[in-house]
A and B are shown apart, each in its own frame.
Chain A
């Protein structure tokens, strides 16, 4: 079986972005040392269910905020607590405001070899709207610093579909990003998550989101432009410069490979069971402090539930869904034929693979075969 993935959730941010629904907090930075000790404790207690790990992903929140010593001790502690393969992809998520040449070198020294940089946009108006702490110029400086420190595997995160954004300004952002030759690009359509400040602004009419046809235009333009520059559109929001540049870690989520999540709100899958941790930092610390596990709930999907998961996730990726999975749906052949005729799916090597237009309606494809 493929090696497992390891995810560590860093629940701290310097400030909260108005559109973000991730579990993170801005006031509890002083808890970082306790958090590190507890992550290591959780790692030891959960080690049993997994084989060796070939990815380490520090996500959040804002892992790049953690100071070098703390980060180093965390990484060494994890290496000691868990079995790792020889070749490990080790990623840290960071915000441009927190990246300096020195810090980047320190990360490399710890053995981190991939950075996912939350650039979001190269347009200062966009960045202000998104409530980010950095300016476009800082993003460029951060990318330079990473290159200088020897990072060759850098991913850039961008967001499109902002109010006021035009295809022209979005193209500028894409081109700026491409000029740094990143191995990986994540381009997310801005989503209004419930219970966020953005949701309240939209609800109150202060912010008007672009409609679906504009969204579609952004999506297609992104795919086209990046393809022309050699990037493979391998997941709804993800592009890789050649197959080996895909995020090895995220790929595990989409292909039902086991992953262990440590930290508040982290999710895990051991190949049979799924579980997730309590969301709050303090309850999570308390549970571990009492010698127990911080699990909020566990489930063991049935065969049919597993099939639905494959559908829910498979049509989001360029590898699509194997035909045997589709055959369980009554009338599957007619459904498939209609989608193929309509240019949303293609059949290749015994799999139904979404086209770019198919990726845009991946949820509807999953529903059609549910």
Chain B
């Protein structure tokens, strides 16, 4: 029987994990060249559009070593973006080793280090790999030095590869089978299969991605997720080879999938252990730590009668993204919805887009919020992540908000613009370093709330895409926090309320009013848009009523054209929210989350 090697590829974002995975997959020959495409493991449309990995993805590859031994390699490609670290930690739970990639032109970066620590926590064999050596600007010596100095690994032992050109791939494969230990675990022991990922298949129900630590499982067995008191008959087991490939049996050490016709999503929990109903393991494997969200926003269906449907979709979505947490929420303007916690802004954006695309939901998001802390006059401490729960201001003694240490790498010509942006956003403690000629590393302490409000997009735009942004969490600091309400024709739109620092309230209010003015179509009536703190109006815009809304001519040929337009507008109405008698399009709720380009 073929030996097993289970490993993940981990690195900072864009250091070439998915591209290297491509070469390993191609080397195995499991996919015909004509069916191949770049970053083949990035299967989600969103991943392909954005060129980043969002989901960890495992694949089973056959390999024959130089000395003729047969292997099955289970490779997991992981995301590099900090928002998806949770994906990495779950992948690592099913491995004995990692390839830690370092881009030879960029060297060790924040997520290189963070992911290394994760691998060390799991006690994994670490193979440092210097990638992109084909690039003219590759600096292999620097990378080696940083691997020694910053990571504490043996730089001399690092492999040199180009994922793009395939250089060094054969040596890498040999190193994988030589250096990464084979999985341990007895086939004869009771089954322990860790669910490290899952997704919902409309035809087959929940598909659990598992790593077997002991025992074996095959179709027909009666299995039981240990957190659930219920047994299910196994319909199919197999391995991932881009598509699912059924196998007669999975054994200790294997990575693969289990389908057992589970239609109730709650019965497949990532982190749970699957065992045999008639011969259960005495204890479950260690699950995963709950992820700790830092950004909160509420999701509402555009059409309020879609609430049940959204509830269903969220549950199924969570199967495939265990880091999303949510509870019920409700709003006077938007009806019933969910308060969701995200690991970061990108995570928020991805969840929204995946729900819209994969589950066909039309969503409205409220302004993202951080967790604010309030000390009340009576001494109580309050944590608030939802403007709806902002306490009575008269009873507040003081407020605090979370800060981050931002690190912005940029060509030095953008320094002025970046400083201006950070200062506007209440940045303090700036520090500037010049890691290499022409490049700067600008550091700032910034309130997280300012960063989740359109900071990254602004940075991208003022640095024409050259600025990169990274951050680590700091402590909570004092801040004068107020609640900003937005009123449309005098009616408060609760979904547009936000907690903001007093010094920034006016700017935020003006921005929200301007954005809404652009997004709300002119109506037959004048519409007033206002920003207010308590009873005080601090910003105001007016949408004038239209004077004319008719075409001059309408002959025989115009009738179908007019009707088609009306059909489109009728469909568009479903994406409108009525606030009083004003129609607010879904896009308006999103637009207030952005600043205009000329801020």
Report the interface size for chain B: residues with CB under 8 A from the other chain.
25
0/1 per residue, A26-59, Cβ < 8 Å to B? 0000000000000000000000000000000000
Query: Would you call B230 an interface residue if the criterion is a C-beta within 8 Å of the partner chain's C-beta atoms?
Result: no
A250 to B551 Cα, complex, angstroms: 16
Chain B interface: which of A81-89, A117-125, A208-216? A208-216
Residues of A within 8 A of B434 (CB): none
For B567, the chain A residues whose CB sits under 8 A away are 305, 308, 370
Contacts of B554 in A (CB 8 A): 236, 253-254, 312-313, 316
Select the stretch in A96-104, A138-146, A263-271 that faces chain B: A263-271
A309 contacts the other chain (Cβ, under 8 Å)?
A: yes
How far apart are A20's CB and chain B's nearest CB, in angstroms?
11
A206 to B503, CA, bound (A): 45
Contact B570 A363 (CB under 8 A): no
Residues of chain B within 8 A (CB-CB) of A190 are: 552
A326 at the interface (CB under 8 A from B): no
Q: Which of A172-180, A283-291, A354-362 contacts B (4 or more CB under 8 A)?
A: A354-362
Q: Are B524 and A364 in contact (CB under 8 A)?
A: yes
Q: Is the CB of A189 within 8 A of B552?
A: yes
The reply on A342 being an interface residue by CB < 8 A is yes
Q: Measured between alpha carbons, how far is A370 from B566 in the docked complex, in Å?
A: 7
A294 touches B (CB below 8 Å): no
Of all chain B residues, the one with the shortest Cβ separation from A235 is B554
- A261 CB within 8 Å of chain B: yes
Given the interface pairs A253-B554, A313-B562, the reply to whether A364 lies near B546 with Cβ below 8 Å is yes
State which of B547, B557, B559 has its C-beta within 8 Å of the C-beta of A360: B547
Cα–Cα distance between A269 and B553 once the two chains are bound (Å):
18
> Per-position contact with B for A296-312: 1 when CB-CB < 8 Å, else 0?
00010100010011011
Contact of A312 among B524, B548, B552, B562 (CB under 8 A): B562
A237 to B554, CA, bound (A): 9
Tell me whether B563 is interfacial, beta carbon within 8 Å: yes
The answer to whether the Cβ of A7 comes within 8 Å of any Cβ in the partner chain is yes
Q: Which of A68-95 contact B (CB under 8 A)?
A: none
Q: How far is the CA of A265 from the CA of B553 in the complex (A)?
A: 16
- Closest B residue to A219 by beta carbon equals B548
The answer, yes or no, to whether A244 is at the interface (CB within 8 Å) is no
CA distance A204 to B26 in the complex (A): 55
Alpha-carbon distance A141/B550, docked complex (angstroms)? 34
Minimal Cβ-Cβ distance residue in A for B561: A312
For A366, the chain B residues whose CB sits under 8 A away are 562, 566
> A215 vs B550: C-alpha distance in the bound complex, in angstroms?
11
Would you call A367 and B559 a contact (CB within 8 A)?
no
A338 sits at the interface (CB 8 A)? yes
Find out whether the CB atom of B570 lies under 8 angstroms from the CB atom of A370.
yes
B569 at the binding interface (Cβ < 8 Å): yes
Structural contact, A215 and B548, CB atoms closer than 8 A: yes
Q: Which residues of chain A have C-beta atoms less than 8 A from B569's C-beta?
A: 367, 370
User: CA of A264 to CA of B562 in the docked complex: distance in angstroms?
Assistant: 21
B560 at the interface (CB under 8 A from A): yes
Q: Is B49 an interface residue (CB 8 A)?
A: no
Contacts of A234 in B (CB 8 A): none
Q: Does A259 contact B (CB under 8 A)?
A: yes
Residue from A265, A299, A316, A338 within 8 A of B557 (CB atoms):
A265
A276 at interface by CB-CB < 8 Å = yes
Contacts of A259 in B (CB 8 A): 556
Interface string of A315-349 (1 = CB under 8 A from B): 01000000000000000000000100010100000
User: Bound state CA distance, A7 and B379, in angstroms?
Assistant: 84
Is A274 interfacial (CB-CB < 8 Å)?
yes
| Complex A-B, nearest 3 residue pairs according to Cβ-Cβ distance, in ascending order | A267-B557, A312-B562, A212-B547
Could you list which residues of chain A lie within 8 angstroms of chain B, going by C-beta atoms? 7, 188-191, 212-213, 215-216, 219, 236-237, 250, 253-254, 259, 261, 265-269, 274, 276, 299, 301, 305, 308-309, 311-313, 316, 338, 342, 344, 359-364, 366-367, 370
Listed A/B pairs (7) with beta-carbon separation below 8 Å: A268-B556, A274-B560, A309-B562, A342-B525, A363-B551, A364-B524, A370-B566
